[in-house]
Amino acid sequence: MSDKRTIETGTVSFSERLANSQIFATLFRDGMALVEETASYLDGAGRAESKKLERSAAMVYATESMRLTTRLMQLASWLLLHRAVKEGEMTLAQANKEKSKVRLAACDPGDAKSIALLPKALQELIARSVKLQTEVRRLDATMHAAPPMTMAIGNPVERQLGLLKAAFEGDRM
């Protein structure tokens, strides 16, 4: 976050602080590690496991691995976009405009009965990606929430004095 922006406005943006927080850093690290782990699994052990599946389970495997990779790519896009905010490469407002291209609700997994047909390693990756998706959605909702409406609240004593003045001036007529 730019200290200059904080000094100029006199306020601290919670959203910008959140983008620079340890929470985001941990989420980024874990998310990108999950992307790498999933790619490695699908290119290696997952490919071998998929060849051993029955036809119906192989179809579920193909569908769910595609959903998984799509979900993770959307999450990685969101994480990289917000890392750019953290690094000062773009503002949160710019990220907010760009994030409309990212679909955080994309590719929810299939039903539990179908998922149960898959190898345990893929089931675990799917579960972890759904957990990551939930955490990113929560953070996104917090970071990009509309700013609360603020009412101009002056000095309450001044307001009362104004009311008293108006009341007594009305008596003089």
Question: What would the 3-class secondary structure string for the chain be?
Answer: CCHHHHHHHCCCCHHHHHHCCHHHHHHHHHHHHHHHHHHHHHHCHHHHHHHCCCHHHHHHHHHHHHHHHHHHHHHHHHHHHHHHHHCCCCCHHHHHHHHHHCCCCCCCCCCHHHHCCCCHHHHHHHHHHHHHHHHHHHHHHHHCCCCCCCCCCCCHHHHHHHHHHHHHHHHCC
Q: Residue 121 above 70 pLDDT?
A: yes
Q: Residue 37 above 80 pLDDT?
A: yes
**Structural domain of 115:** 3-171
Q: Residue 160 above 80 pLDDT?
A: no
The mean pLDDT of the chain is: 81
Provide the number of structural domains found in the chain: 1
Q: What is the model's pLDDT at position 3?
A: 46
Q: Residue 5 above 50 pLDDT?
A: no
Residue that wins the pLDDT comparison between 132 and 163? 132
Q: What is the model's pLDDT at position 139?
A: 86
Q: Residue 55 above 50 pLDDT?
A: yes
pLDDT average, residue stretch 45-51: 95
Q: What is the model's pLDDT at position 140?
A: 84
Task: Please state the pTM of the whole predicted model.
Answer: 0.72
Q: Residue 13 above 70 pLDDT?
A: no
CATH of the domain at 62: 1.10.8.930
